[in-house]
Amino acid sequence: MSMYRLGTVTRIAQGLLIVRTPAGDAIESHDAIGTMALDDSLETVGRVVDLFGPVERPYLAVTPDEDVHVPALVGATLYAR
């Protein structure tokens, strides 16, 4: 399985990690929803539950796992496989 970048965590809203997708990478909602989000050490941090915003560069909402220190992820890049 190949890895790809989901984007950068920009903020926390209502307990969700809000991730800005990279410019130029087309992410389809049917591909993103349910995807496991990984940090740079390949540890699972949560699951994508929503995709919203502009089609060209949408945002992803990620429900964090219970054992994840959410504030530490702001500014971090998340990945998927």
Please state the length of the chain. 81
Cα separation of the two ends of the chain? 6
Q: Backbone phi, then psi, for 44, in 5-degree steps?
A: -70, 130
The pLDDT tens digits for 29-62 are 557 899 999 999 999 999 999 999 988 889 999 9
DSSP three-state, residue 36: strand
Superfamily of domain 4-80: Probable tRNA pseudouridine synthase domain (2.40.10.230)
Rg of the chain over all Cα atoms, to the nearest angstrom? 11
Could you tell me the two tokens for 67?
């054992």
Distance CA 27, CA 73 (A): 21
pTM of the model: 0.89
